[in-house]
Structure 1
Amino acid sequence: MGYKVAVIGATGNVGREMLNILAEREFPADEVIPLASSRSIGVEVSYGDARLKCRDLENFDFHGIDFALMSAGSTISKEWSPRIGSTGCVVIDNSSCWRYDADVPLIVPEVNADAIAGFTKKNIIANPNCSTAQLVVVLKPLHDVAKIKRVVVSTYQSVSGAGKEAMDELWNQTKGIFVTQPPEPDKFTKQIAFNVIPHIDVFLDDGSTKEEWKMMVETKKILDPKIKLTATCVRVPVFVGHAEAVNIEFESEMTAKDARRILRDAPGILVVDKREPGGYVTPVECVGDYATYVSRIRDDQTVDNALSLWCVSDNLRKGAALNTIQIAETIIERNLLKKAA
């Protein structure tokens, strides 16, 4: 007998990807229920070969549901996650709402699966920020061998991380430029087509953005509070797929050769690192894949025990939907959930 799974925010980019991945991975579900706001009642979404009609979150009874996969934003999650959790259903939330709550585990299964057991305090588990998720998958196996002291990361984040409206804006601006139609920024603060924007989320008092702060705080919570991390997060005119240029400083010796060997054996990672033209992976090549790809691994000649690398991942998958479903799979594998009657 399988599980009952509700997908909240089923009409959004990540919600649709959750449904795709549930089907692809043959998640043991007897019933999958897509939920959305009242304006999306009856909208059909794909689940494998099936078409499912969205139901209204507001009037849905979560008693008897095992997992609620939440991708409807922080405002909805703040209101609904505790209510859903109180019914015995486990909420796995993709927003930033619960990531920094001490009673809510922040999980990337390849990195800190043991922390999942703490979900019983509120029946809520948080997904990290998309840019953090792929980063810690790469850092974890290296940190286990030679403790990481400091990380400097620059991100190249696709517009899908800002939602469907952002993707539409890139598309419309790109088309418009070719017909001499002036690009009109709406979702973004500046033109995104043929441009890059060093600004994701709101600015903080110290001059960093909240996206950069999230990467620092979440890496500490997931991996090790002693790691120092500084980030510069940039939105780029790419539809799907986040890339990161990462510099890592270790407490003890770690060479590029060592790192390449360690990462090749690590879960969730594929190393593609040929020192020749095209011997690396770019965002467009990672779309639709589960893995985080690592390329350009090299020693940093400017400081002892340091290296630089390049990593890319499908942000709608590992950065969001896939990680959510991997969390649910881990709960099942570890027999941590008493299935709802």
Structure 2
Amino acid sequence: MRYEARQSGAAQTGARADRKPKETQMGYKVVVAGATGNVGREMLNILAEREFPVDEIAVLASRKSLGTEVSFGDKTLKTQDLDTFDFTGWDMALFAVGSEPTKKYAPKAAAAGCVVIDNSSLYRYDPDVPLVVPEVNADAVLGYSKKNIIANPNCSTAQMVVALKPLHDRAKIKRVVVSTYQSVSGAGKEGMDELWDQTKAVYNPVSEVPPKKFQKQIAFNVIPHIDVFMEDGSTKEEWKMVAETKKIVDPSIKVTATCVRVPVFVGHAESINIETEDFLDEDEARDILREAPGIMVIDKREAGGYATPVECVGDYATFVSRIRQDSTIENGLNLWCVSDNLRKGAALNAVQIAEALGQKVLKKG
């Protein structure tokens, strides 16, 4: 079953009703760096799906992937060398290359006048770089000019703040307790391959596949460890959710997270417990979320009346289910939240940032 998310003004550049006829519309010169990876390919798919106004597009990769062909709509493009590419004259570059290459190439692109929309963690906590989820804080793109860079949040944070923001606007969230169930695609192709190979090996006892990408066997298992451990016992993934929620939504919100890798190929799930300053009835919360941008509520109190990662794959929406009162505290709610982490958690959010940048700043499309 497929569902469509309600889109916010910042997120609906691709909506035909709001667009000029294609033949009269000015477009952008767009770069996708890291075009051969999972997120880079998804960026190209979503740019095409949403009919982002592109006059010219360049797809970049490292030298080992040079010349690899990737699809953009009905076109086939050959990758160019990220190391030698000249960003002069290009409007925006969507980066999906990881923190180390970003550190080298993003300033180069920014200095050439090309606005970088970065999917890595490198700039997320830089006070001079806006961290943007368009359904939540689209106006933050206006702060891009300090470094000519806009940051895309962590995948687990992105879907959570889409659900938190409309409830925060109504009842002011004080505290969030979240447990994540994160798919292996969040660890890239190597993570997906490891789950696939280990799953096959379970049924073939003579073939053993020891953990490489993950710390323990991921097939038929769950691992409460994503990224490195920090001094206070939390992992960096958990710290990211805390820091990014504060930067995107409200620095006064207290967040505690437990992030877990699960044997699912695509789609992150989250169990979210919220404490608010003002009482918020579960029925009102459900109505608020139904009207909120980017959210689809699937919440029937019956077998199968909720969303799971399988249903969210390939969809734009952040799905919210299991909305119910928490009777253990005065003003508490519980939610179940799922989303395609390669889309809303990465590629879709980056494209939505590009749309917001186009609407609010560059204004060609």
TM-score normalized with structure 2 length? 0.92
**SS of corresponding position for 2:83:** helix
Aligned-residue offset at 1:332: 1.1
Aligned-partner Cα distance in 2 for 1:231–1:183: 30
**SS of corresponding position for 1:184:** coil
1:196 to 198, 203, 222: 222
Aligned-partner Cα distance in 2 for 1:245–1:76: 34
1:207 to 233, 246, 268: 233
Tell me which stretches of 4 or more aligned residues in structure 1 moved more than 4 Å: none
Corresponding letter in the other structure for 1:8? A
**SS of corresponding position for 1:59:** coil
Aligned-partner Cα distance in 2 for 1:55–1:118: 30
Deviations 1:82-138 (A, max 9, x none): 111011100000000000000000000000111110000000000000000000000
Deviations 1:197-217 (A, max 9, x none): 000000000000000000000
Aligned-partner Cα distance in 2 for 1:6–1:183: 38
**SS of corresponding position for 2:180:** strand
Aligned-partner Cα distance in 2 for 1:338–1:158: 37
Aligned-residue offset at 1:337: 2.2
**SS of corresponding position for 1:163:** helix
Match of 1:186 in 2: 212
2:278 to 217, 234, 252: 252
TM-score normalized with structure 1 length? 0.98
1:238 to 257, 260, 264: 264
2:340 to 298, 314, 321: 314
**SS of corresponding position for 1:191:** coil
Aligned-partner Cα distance in 2 for 1:225–1:244: 21
**SS of corresponding position for 1:58:** coil
Corresponding letter in the other structure for 2:51? E
**1:221-232 mapped onto 2 (5 Å cutoff):** 221-232=247-258
Aligned-partner Cα distance in 2 for 1:114–1:41: 37
Deviations 1:172-214 (A, max 9, x none): 0001111113331000010000000000000000000000000
1:3 to 28, 46, 69: 28
**SS of corresponding position for 2:29:** strand
1:136 aligns with 2:164: no
1:97 aligns with 2:92: no
User: Which consecutive unaligned segments of at least 5 residues does structure 2 have?
Assistant: 1-25
Corresponding letter in the other structure for 1:168? D
User: Which consecutive unaligned segments of at least 5 residues does structure 1 have?
Assistant: none
Corresponding letter in the other structure for 1:299? Q
Aligned-partner Cα distance in 2 for 1:136–1:307: 15
Q: Give percent identity, aligned residues only.
A: 72
1:47 to 72, 89, 96: 72
Corresponding letter in the other structure for 1:191? Q
1:31 to 11, 36, 56: 56
Aligned-partner Cα distance in 2 for 1:54–1:45: 7
Aligned-partner Cα distance in 1 for 2:340–2:200: 24
Aligned-partner Cα distance in 2 for 1:118–1:337: 13
Structure number with greater CO (CA < 8 Å, separation at least 6) is: 2
2:287 to 254, 257, 261: 261
1:170 aligns with 2:226: no
Aligned-residue offset at 1:324: 0.3
| Count of aligned pairs | 338
1:220 aligns with 2:238: no
